[in-house]
Structure 1
Amino acid sequence: MLWEWGPPLDGIIQMAFVVEDIHAAMPRYANALRVGPWFLAEHFAFDKLTYRGAPSAPDIHLCLGFSGSMMIELIQQNCTSPSPYLDEAGKPRCGFHHWGVAATPGAYQGRLDELVEQGFPMVLDAVVGAGSRAAYVESGSGLGGLIELMEITPAVEGLFAHMRNSATAGYPAGTVLPFPGAPGA
């Protein structure tokens, strides 16, 4: 089975990168990798976020774009709040950050429990504005980044399908569009 925007239900749907300057990074990724258009959410809203068990409120910009059915996410943190986007010295962890894996609402908790039972400790637990849950788990050096488990509610699936469909609408490389709905939706 496939998600409405193309990838398999149990596959990788996203690759994410931390950048220092999201506005400078979007055209670089668009031109070199043919990603886009970008959907930019400045000051992305979380309804809830805990990092390593403690509440945190990082101010981040993020953008999403597609190359085929693969979603690319760029993340820029704008503050020094503890988060997986900064290293121990408070500097951005620039470069590849995480693999995004999707789960239906009914499968989300079981898939998260399975990852934790496999020895991947949870480092981030979040709820975004659309009420969708997300978690990061540490994957160790074997996978080269964190794993983000995303709960794909019908609203989120529609959002991602809209973004994916926009990728075939003939926008010039580097086009930046507003994030559909409220940031975090």
Structure 2
Amino acid sequence: MTSPAQIAMTGTAASADLLGYGQPIGGICQTAFVVRDINAAIDHFVRDCAAGPFFLLPSFLVEGQVYRGTPSTADVAIAMGFAGHMQIELIQPLDDNPSVYRETIEARGYGFHHFGIALRDVDAALPGYLARGYNLAFRAPVPTGGAVAYLEGGHDASPGFVELIPANDGMDHHFTMMWQASQGWDGSDPVRPFL
């Protein structure tokens, strides 16, 4: 019998495999939070949650972002680090432009934003999610190749968005390098440039 995670990988039955940092393709590879102050949030995760180091991208605004069917000009700062095998993403909006981040803050305040699901082929998996009742809220190209898709709905119990992340070689290499930096980390240089 094919599991939901196997179907999510490409929209068809497939065998499970792992990213270089140990998370399964077709499963949660990232937990993300929208924050008021990214540096204060990094301090919290390092000091109180034993996560890190964090890799900071002070601005992420790329051409081709689409928010609810309209081109988006919302800029955010992003920091990524690891707690064990789970990637933690921190996102701070840098302007008041409409975005999936601003709408979360307005609806619930700062805090949990989305789970990231690693998929070999986001475009192939997307119709299956839409058929299960999800709606596409945001799409953006990413530097490691392909484009992420933020989905909402699908289940009343969902605590936030689901982000479909293209698990290509560039993404796997990039995220795995961040994870490797967390292995045996001595607490030095808790904030580093985005790789």
Provide the TM-score with structure 1 as the length reference. Answer: 0.89
**Please, which runs of 5 or more residues in structure 2 have no aligned partner?**
1-16
Runs (4+) of structure 1 exceeding 2 A deviation are 87-93, 129-132
Residue 55 of structure 1: which of 59, 65, 71 is its match?
A: 71
Q: Which has the higher contact order (CA 8 A, sep 6+)?
A: 1
Provide the aligned length of Structure 1 versus Structure 2: 178
Which of the numbers 146, 149, 165 marks the counterpart of 1:150?
165
Q: Distance in 1 between matches of 2:88 and 2:156?
A: 21
In 1, the alpha carbon distance for the partners of 2:36 and 2:128 equals 33
Which residue does 2:12 correspond to in 1? none
Task: Identify the residue that residue 60 of structure 2 maps to in structure 1.
Answer: 44
% same residue: 33
In 2, Cα distance between the equivalents of 1:169 and 1:87? 37
Aligned to 2:143: 129
Specify which of 46, 50, 65 is matched with residue 30 of structure 1: 46
Cα shift at 1:174: 7.3
Give the C-alpha shift of residue 91 in structure 1: 8.5
Give me the whole-angstrom Cα distance separating, in 1, the residues matched to 2:114 and 2:73: 19
Which one of 113, 126, 141 corresponds to residue 97 of structure 1?
A: 113
Separation of aligned partners in 2, 1:131 and 1:46? 13
What corresponds to 1:18 in structure 2?
34
- Using the TM superposition, give the Cα deviation of residue 88 of structure 1 relative to its aligned residue in structure 2, in angstroms: 8.3
Quick check: 1:115 aligned with 2:112?
Answer: no
2-structure distance, mates of 1:43, 1:71 = 19
Question: What secondary structure is seen at the aligned counterpart in 2 of 1:163?
Answer: helix
Bigger helix share: 2
CA distance 1:88–1:161, shift in 2 (3 Å) = closer
Once the two structures are superposed, what CA deviation does each residue of 1:91-140 show, in whole Å capped at 9, x if it has no partner?
Answer: 89411000100111xx3212111111100100001112333210000035
Normalised by the size of structure 2, how large is the TM-score?
A: 0.85
Judged with a 3 Å threshold, the aligned counterparts in structure 2 of structure 1 residues 10 and 87 are, in CA distance, closer, same or farther, namely closer
CA distance in 2, matches of 1:92, 1:159: 31
Deviating more after overlay: 167-176 vs 52-61: 167-176
> In the alignment, what sits opposite 1:166?
181
**Any idea what SS the aligned residue of 1:148 has?**
strand
Q: Which has the larger radius of gyration?
A: 2
Query: Which range is displaced more, 119-128 or 81-90?
Result: 81-90
